[in-house]
């Protein structure tokens, strides 16, 4: 495995690489279960960090318990009730000297367990109390029956809670980790970070940090530990973030070792540019310039173009594609939805066919003879620019000579998909030194700069940070759903002036239904259907259209075309229109249940209006009562239309996990780091990382191997 080979320090390799079967009580069976979770050697257990701590160093009087706050209590069993309501149930009432009563509730239990709970027996238990029918109760507490003679010593330090591992009980796991920690070597062989870095940041060395995190002393700052802000945790987070950063940087370096076709002929791009009905914005010109410089290199471009909705990314992509075509090669553009891919098709045909460029189209619904024909054109190279959805990546799609792979709305795709399209380049297996296409990815979901640095360390980032001229900012208001009737008037007025409107139906929560695959789309579709019928009845004389995800593609397409042509005044839609739909004459958008949507999605949706010169507005309809979070989101939407600012807010409000979606970043599963909490470390991560790569690449490799290890699966990508 690569991780063994990459590890340079021999002493560390000796201890940290020791197989877990060396630990007492870890036979082959247990080792196998640990290995299933990627835990193979001592070092893996050192880095198996607690998710939480339980404070059993003190007792809380039952009267002082607070709902939602975990605590340890001790008392006597007062009453036991065994019953059966829908399912077996055991309730144990416990009282203590504070004269409070706590109910312990069990749904799974054995009869031996029931017999333990005799009235009068002393019991100590730990758990999180919640309000129940008769005061506070704890469901499935961890507990211990106390021997009356027992000295009842309390714990002398916080108990670490480790992520559960199937087949190994928490106590056994804790014991194994303890044994592994007993073998932790001295700092000299363990430490990988430069001492001056730790000193300047006032962070402890690795050994001390690990011991503090696994075995916090009684006087450790509990609040800090529970929040993950203890210096020992910060120390580990720093190294973990560094490892991920370095691993992405390594992927990039590996990518750049491939060759790519040199594309420098920009005559066709110049012709396209001259034929456009508008001139490029300064930002578009700058970003296109950056792309031109990349394409002229013999190594593959890896560029992310961030640009707010409506900033004009498509035309920049089309210009880039013209370089491939000018060199007699192919370009592909992949979009996340059919709706968007179709819109690109219409745009690109309009722009490119007059220049004699052949545009082909491939989506799931292109089947049979039509599909065979497209595949043939793609394989022969007759199709110069190929547009499509995920269908582009399917088996059987082979390009003759793909020189540029463009992925639109990158946040909808994963790293793997991006690479899959790249691998359509032809020439079979991608080995070191093989020729691969250039890659351009575009996203309208801007992410804060600090995060971009970390999440996209394998990409160069350009920003189209300017909107085409003549756009007026969208006026946004939040309205309670009771005021819905006013909106009907508003739509009537807008349409009477020749403008058009969207009415977006979003899902109303129904957790049971939502669990089922496809249910979201169905419920959304139903809501849209109902709204469509109501609004059609309320707006006689206005042509109302409907699009949702469950309609036939041809129907959707016809409706979109009619809306684009102005034949439909009001379009009732589900969130399928979120991405990319471009109808400049639409100037009013109503979003139902806006309180349920995230900021990124609201911003995307709102981006469908304000694309023309008319003053546009967006109405966010909500149902009361609003949660604090929802209120803040709607407030943010009213205050700003700056995508970067919204992204920053989004990060604050809900953390980066969702914002980035691990699937798109490859930043899967941090052990300890939390990008929202730890974002302030990123600038340092970046600079330490660059220095290590330049000055001590073997140390850099060792850090990656330690934290990311076998997970570096794109290293050869
Ligand atoms: P997005 O960045 O959201 O993908 P699009 O590429 O769909 O934006 O562009 C939005 C609209 O703006 C399209 O109608 C496009 O033709 C138009 N457009 C793009 N660039 C310019 C420009 N420089 N001047 C005027 N209109 C432009
Ligand atoms: Mg777009």
DSSP string, 60-102: --GGG--TT--EEEEEEEEEEEEEEESEEEEEEEEE-TT--EE
> For residue 470, how far is its CA from the centre of ligand 1 (angstroms)?
12
The CATH number of whichever domain residue 439 belongs to comes to: 3.40.50.300
CA–CA separation, 536 vs 630, rounded Å?
Answer: 30
> For residue 439, how far is its CA from the centre of ligand 2 (angstroms)?
17
> For residue 620, how far is its CA from the centre of ligand 1 (angstroms)?
25
The CATH number of whichever domain residue 138 belongs to comes to: 2.40.50.140
CA–CA separation, 71 vs 229, rounded Å?
Answer: 21
Peptide bond into 419 cis (omega under 30): no
Instruction: Give the angle subtended at the CA of 258 by the CAs of 344 and 260, to the nearest 5°.
Output: 45
Per-residue burial over 291-315, b = 16 or more CB atoms within 10 Å of its CB, e = otherwise: bbebbeeeebbbbbbbbbbbbbbbb
Query: What are the CA-CA distances from residue 208 to residues 175, 221, 505 (Å)?
Result: 19, 15, 54
Q: How is residue 136 written in tokens?
A: 């506070």
pLDDT tens figures, 466-507: 888 877 789 999 999 999 889 999 999 999 999 999 999 986
446 within ligand 1 shell (Cβ under 6 A): no
The residues that bridge with 124 in the sheet, in sequence order, are: 74, 144
pLDDT value, residue 536: 95
DSSP state of 160: E
310 within ligand 1 shell (Cβ under 6 A): yes
Mean pLDDT calculated for residue range 49-63: 89
pLDDT value, residue 6: 43
pLDDT tier at 289, thresholds 50, 70, 90: very high
Single pTM value for the model: 0.67
Is 90 exceeded by the pLDDT of residue 298?
yes
Q: Return the best residue to mutate from 307, 310, 317, 613 for the ligand 1 pocket (most ligand atoms within 8 A of CB).
A: 310
CA–CA separation, 409 vs 395, rounded Å?
Answer: 22
Compute the half-sphere exposure of residue 174: CA atoms within 13 Å on the CB side of its CA: 14
pLDDT value, residue 620: 96
| Residue 491 sits in the same domain as residue 424 | no
pLDDT tens figures, 430-469: 555 578 999 998 987 666 665 666 666 778 888 898 888 8
List phi, psi (to 5°) of 183: -100, 10
CB 220 within 8 A of CB 55: no
CA–CA separation, 392 vs 403, rounded Å?
Answer: 15
CA torsion, points 522, 526, 528, 533, in degrees to nearest 10?
Answer: 160
In this structure, the number of other CB atoms found within 10 A of the CB of residue 519 comes to: 14
Is 50 exceeded by the pLDDT of residue 249?
yes
Q: End of a domain among 119, 136, 153?
A: 153
Q: End of a domain among 640, 669, 702?
A: 640
* 713 or 74: which leads in pLDDT: 74
Ligand 1: which residue has its CA nearest to atom 19? 312
| Residue 412 sits in the same domain as residue 512 | no
Q: Which atom of ligand 1 is nearest to the CA of 316?
A: 6
pLDDT value, residue 414: 56
pLDDT tier at 119, thresholds 50, 70, 90: very high
248 within ligand 1 shell (Cβ under 6 A): no
> For residue 311, how far is its CA from the centre of ligand 2 (angstroms)?
8
| Residue 436 sits in the same domain as residue 480 | no
Is 80 exceeded by the pLDDT of residue 236?
yes
CA–CA separation, 593 vs 383, rounded Å?
Answer: 43
pLDDT value, residue 33: 92
pLDDT value, residue 388: 92
pLDDT tens figures, 377-401: 999 999 999 999 888 887 788 999 9
Is 60 exceeded by the pLDDT of residue 676?
yes
CB 683 within 8 A of CB 457: no
Helices (H) and strands (E) in the chain, counts: 30, 22
pLDDT value, residue 449: 61
Mean pLDDT calculated for residue range 587-605: 89
Closest CA to 140 of 95, 167, 99, 103: 103
| Residue 408 sits in the same domain as residue 548 | no
CB 502 within 8 A of CB 609: yes
pLDDT tens figures, 514-542: 344 455 667 777 788 999 999 999 999 89
| Residue 347 sits in the same domain as residue 490 | no
pLDDT tier at 428, thresholds 50, 70, 90: very low
pLDDT value, residue 561: 87
Question: Which of 294-308, 425-439, 546-560 has the least mean pLDDT?
Answer: 425-439
| Residue 517 sits in the same domain as residue 378 | no
Which-ligand-closest: CA of 317?
1
Specify the pairing of strand 570-573 against strand 544-547.
parallel
Q: Does a structural domain hold residue 572?
A: yes
307 within ligand 1 shell (Cβ under 6 A): yes
> For residue 444, how far is its CA from the centre of ligand 1 (angstroms)?
12
| Residue 627 sits in the same domain as residue 518 | yes
Is 70 exceeded by the pLDDT of residue 371?
yes
pLDDT value, residue 189: 82
Mean pLDDT calculated for residue range 214-241: 89
| Residue 494 sits in the same domain as residue 627 | yes
pLDDT value, residue 454: 64
* 613 or 508: which leads in pLDDT: 613
pLDDT tier at 126, thresholds 50, 70, 90: very high
132 within ligand 1 shell (Cβ under 6 A): no
Q: What is the mean pLDDT of the chain?
A: 84
Is 90 exceeded by the pLDDT of residue 137?
yes
> For residue 316, how far is its CA from the centre of ligand 1 (angstroms)?
9
Which-ligand-closest: CA of 584?
1
Is 50 exceeded by the pLDDT of residue 202?
yes
CA–CA separation, 646 vs 577, rounded Å?
Answer: 20
pLDDT tens figures, 164-190: 888 898 889 999 999 999 999 988 788
| Residue 397 sits in the same domain as residue 505 | no
CA–CA separation, 685 vs 690, rounded Å?
Answer: 9
pLDDT tier at 548, thresholds 50, 70, 90: confident
CA–CA separation, 65 vs 549, rounded Å?
Answer: 49
Ligand 1: which residue has its CA nearest to atom 24? 468
Q: Does a structural domain hold residue 279?
A: yes
Q: Does a structural domain hold residue 592?
A: yes
Q: Does a structural domain hold residue 629?
A: yes
Q: Does a structural domain hold residue 664?
A: no
Q: Return the best residue to mutate from 314, 581, 641 for the ligand 1 pocket (most ligand atoms within 8 A of CB).
A: 314
Out of 269-283, 297-311, 602-616, give the one with best mean pLDDT.
269-283
DSSP states of 441-460? EEESS---HHHHHHHTTTSE
| Residue 619 sits in the same domain as residue 484 | yes
| Residue 438 sits in the same domain as residue 481 | no
pLDDT value, residue 645: 82
608 within ligand 1 shell (Cβ under 6 A): no
> For residue 212, how far is its CA from the centre of ligand 2 (angstroms)?
49
Q: End of a domain among 153, 168, 198?
A: 153
CA–CA separation, 551 vs 561, rounded Å?
Answer: 15
DSSP states of 558-620? HHHHHHHTTS-SEEEE-GGGGTT---TTEEEEEETTGGGS-HHHHHHHHTTSS-SSS--EEEE
> For residue 463, how far is its CA from the centre of ligand 2 (angstroms)?
14
Residue 139: give the domain boundaries.
59-153
319 within ligand 1 shell (Cβ under 6 A): no
Q: Which atom of ligand 1 is nearest to the CA of 313?
A: 2
Q: Does a structural domain hold residue 408?
A: yes
610 within ligand 1 shell (Cβ under 6 A): no
Instruction: Give the angle subtended at the CA of 505 by the CAs of 568 and 590, to the nearest 5°.
Output: 65
Mean pLDDT calculated for residue range 394-410: 87
Instruction: Give the angle subtended at the CA of 285 by the CAs of 283 and 291, to the nearest 5°.
Output: 105
Mean pLDDT calculated for residue range 239-257: 85
| Residue 387 sits in the same domain as residue 531 | no
pLDDT value, residue 662: 37
pLDDT tens figures, 14-50: 688 889 999 998 999 999 999 888 888 999 999 998 8
Instruction: Give the angle subtended at the CA of 578 by the CAs of 546 and 387, to the nearest 5°.
Output: 95
Q: Does a structural domain hold residue 656?
A: no
Is 50 exceeded by the pLDDT of residue 9?
no
Alpha helices in 617-674 (DSSP H): 628-639, 643-654, 656-660, 662-665
Residues 6+ apart with CB under 8 A from 161: 50, 51, 52, 53, 54, 170
Residues in the chain: 717
Is 60 exceeded by the pLDDT of residue 360?
yes
**In the chain, how many domains are there?**
3
637 within ligand 1 shell (Cβ under 6 A): no
Is 50 exceeded by the pLDDT of residue 648?
yes
pLDDT value, residue 5: 42
CB 348 within 8 A of CB 359: yes
What percentage of the chain reaches a pLDDT higher than 70? 86
CB 42 within 8 A of CB 15: yes
Q: Does a structural domain hold residue 26?
A: no
Question: Which of 90-104, 281-295, 315-329 has the least mean pLDDT?
Answer: 90-104
> For residue 310, how far is its CA from the centre of ligand 2 (angstroms)?
7
């Amino acid at each position: 495995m690569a991780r063994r080979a990459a590890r340079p320090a021999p002493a560390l390799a000796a201890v940290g690489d020791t197989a877990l079967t060396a630990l007492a009580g870890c036979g082959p069976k247990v080792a196998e279960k640990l290995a299933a979770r990627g835990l193979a050697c001592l070092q893996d257990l050192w880095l198996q960090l607690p998710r939480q701590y339980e404070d059993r160093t003190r007792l809380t009087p039952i009267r002082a318990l607070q709902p939602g706050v975990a605590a340890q209590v001790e008392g006597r069993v007062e009453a036991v009730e065994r019953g059966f309501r829908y399912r077996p149930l055991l309730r144990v009432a416990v009282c203590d000297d504070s004269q409070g009563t706590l109910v312990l509730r069990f749904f799974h239990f054995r009869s031996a367990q029931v017999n333990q709970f005799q009235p009068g027996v002393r019991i100590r238990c730990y758990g999180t109390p919640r309000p129940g029918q008769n005061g506070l109760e704890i469901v499935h507490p961890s507990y211990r029956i106390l021997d009356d003679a027992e000295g009842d010593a309390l714990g002398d330090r916080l108990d670490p809670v480790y992520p559960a591992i199937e087949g190994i009980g928490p106590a056994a796991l804790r014991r194994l980790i303890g044994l592994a920690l007993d073998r932790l070597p001295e700092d000299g062989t363990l430490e990988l970070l430069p001492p001056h870095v730790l000193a300047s940041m006032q962070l402890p060395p690795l050994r001390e940090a690990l011991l503090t995190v696994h075995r916090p002393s009684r006087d450790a700052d509990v609040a800090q530990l529970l929040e993950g802000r203890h210096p020992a945790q910060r120390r580990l987070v720093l190294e973990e973030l560094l490892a991920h950063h370095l691993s992405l940087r390594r992927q990039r370096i590996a990518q750049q070792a491939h060759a790519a076709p040199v594309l420098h002929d920009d005559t066709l791009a110049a012709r396209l540019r001259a034929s456009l009905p508008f001139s490029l914005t300064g930002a578009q010109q700058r970003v296109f310039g950056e792309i031109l410089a990349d394409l002229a290199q013999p190594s593959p471009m890896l560029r992310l173009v961030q640009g707010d909705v409506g900033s004009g990314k498509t035309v920049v992509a089309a210009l880039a594609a013209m370089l491939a075509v000018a060199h007699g090669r192919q370009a592909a553009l992949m979009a996340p939805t059919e709706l968007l891919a179709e819109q690109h098709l219409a745009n690109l045909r309009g722009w490119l066919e007059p220049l004699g460029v052949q545009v082909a189209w491939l989506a799931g619904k292109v089947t049979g003879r039509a599909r065979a024909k497209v595949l043939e054109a793609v394989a022969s190279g007759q199709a110069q620019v190929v547009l499509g959805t995920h269908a582009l990546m399917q088996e059987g799609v082979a390009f003759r000579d793909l020189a540029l792979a463009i992925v639109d709305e990158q946040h909808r795709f994963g790293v793997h998909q991006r690479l899959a399209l790249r691998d359509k380049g032809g020439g079979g297996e991608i080995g070191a030194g093989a020729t691969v296409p250039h890659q351009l990815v575009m996203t309208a979901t801007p992410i804060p700069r600090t995060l971009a640095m970390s999440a996209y360390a394998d990409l160069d980032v350009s920003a189209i940070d300017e909107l085409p001229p003549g756009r007026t900012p969208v006026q946004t208001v939040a309205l309670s759903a009771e005021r819905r009737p006013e909106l009907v008037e508003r739509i009537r007025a807008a349409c009477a002036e020749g403008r058009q409107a969207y009415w977006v139906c979003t899902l109303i929560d129904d957790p049971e239904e939502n669990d089922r695959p496809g249910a979201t789309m169905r419920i959304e579709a139903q809501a849209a259907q109902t709204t469509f019928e109501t609004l059609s009845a309320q707006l006689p004389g206005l042509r109302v259209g409907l699009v949702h995800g469950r309609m036939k593609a041809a129907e959707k397409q016809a409706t979109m075309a009619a809306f684009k042509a102005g034949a439909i005044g009001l379009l009732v839609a589900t969130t399928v229109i979120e991405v990319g739909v471009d109808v400049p004459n639409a100037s009013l958008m109503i979003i139902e249940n806006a309180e349920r949507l995230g900021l990124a999605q609201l911003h995307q949706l709102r981006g469908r209006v304000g694309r023309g010169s008319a003053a546009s507005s967006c109405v966010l309809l909500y149902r009361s009562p609003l949660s604090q979070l929802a209120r803040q989101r709607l407030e943010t939407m009213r205050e700003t239309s700056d995508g970067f600012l919204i992204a920053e807010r989004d990060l604050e409000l809900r953390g980066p996990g969702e914002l980035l979606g691990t699937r798109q970043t490859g930043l899967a599963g941090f052990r300890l780091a939390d990008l929202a909490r730890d974002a302030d470390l990123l600038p340092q991560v970046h600079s330490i990382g660059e220095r290590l790569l330049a000055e001590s690449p073997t140390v850099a490799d060792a850090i990656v191997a330690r934290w990311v290890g076998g997970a570096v699966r794109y290293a050869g990508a």
